[in-house]
Amino acid sequence: MRTATLLIRNRFVVLLMGALLMPSALAASPVEAVALFKDRAVVRTVQGEEMLKVGETSKTGVTLLAATPVGATVRYRDEIYELDLSTRVAGSYAKPKEDVVRISRDEWGQYRMRGAIHDQPVNFLVDTGASVVAMSEVHASNLGLNYQAGQKGFVQTAQGTANAYFLTLDKVTLGSITQHKVRATVIEGTYPVDVLLGMSFLNGVNLQDSAGVLTLTARF
């Protein structure tokens, strides 16, 4: 009996040592990517999530070294990690039968949501009164748009008439809804504060406003 007990104990010690000596690559990564864009990513640690630009370091100590819509490289606690979209996120995700986005009304009675233009994140304000997607030249510069090559004209804003450039965006994304070749205007100056998601995008969805929630359903 003592011999059998000793063998069991020794086997347990061997198994335990094997677990301790497993390569760190087989362990769960302490940092995940939950959203990926060109030169930006949303990273998650046990302390929470944060949007980072390449070169930035989060409050939790994650430095974003590189990012594309399909992967990111980060430094965390002196280790380098190559990340794709979190397997926990991707594994629990099921594409809806319809592409539907729901936005709750904010304290000002408006509908705002984070989206993307050319896979780069922007803050959208849904505006059915705007005929096209509209942004300031500050937004356009940050997105790297060659807007000055567009057709020059002017628009009427709350501040009066302003010079503007008209162009076509290759890709505009709001949640699970993506549209291509979307007409847009870039307004000289810093107006508007958020990118206005106008009818050149909204004409491609069905809108339903109910109890403070705006539902956008893509038209197929």
Q: Look at residue 196 and tell me whether its pLDDT is greater than 70.
A: yes
Tally of CB atoms within 10 A around 108 = 8
Mean pLDDT of 102-107: 91
Alpha carbon distance 103, 92 (integer Å): 22
Angle at 93 between CA 50 and CA 34, to 5 degrees: 15
Provide the β-strand partners of residue 67. 72
Domain end, chosen from 53, 68, 91, is at 91
> Which of 98-102, 125-129, 141-145, 146-150 is least confident?
98-102
State the CATH number of the domain containing residue 136: 2.40.70.10
Q: Look at residue 3 and tell me whether its pLDDT is greater than 80.
A: no
55 and 160 within one domain: no
147 and 127 within one domain: yes
- pTM beyond 0.75: the answer is no
State the CATH number of the domain containing residue 56: 2.30.30.830
Task: Count structural domains, the chain.
Answer: 2
Tally of CB atoms within 10 A around 20 = 7
Instruction: Residue 8: give the domain boundaries.
Output: 2-91
210 and 127 within one domain: yes
108 and 82 within one domain: no
214 and 133 within one domain: yes
Q: Look at residue 89 and tell me whether its pLDDT is greater than 80.
A: no
211 and 144 within one domain: yes
Angle at 162 between CA 161 and CA 167, to 5 degrees: 125
Task: Identify the pLDDT of residue 70.
Answer: 78
- Take residue 15 and report the two structure tokens written for it: 């198994």
Identity of the amino acid at 87 = T
pLDDT tens by residue, 47-77: 777 888 888 998 888 999 888 887 888 888 8
Kind and range of the H or E element at 154? strand 151-157
211 and 105 within one domain: yes
Domain end, chosen from 68, 91, 114, is at 91
84 and 104 within one domain: no
Query: Pick the residue with more confidence: 152 or 85?
Result: 152
Kind and range of the H or E element at 97? none
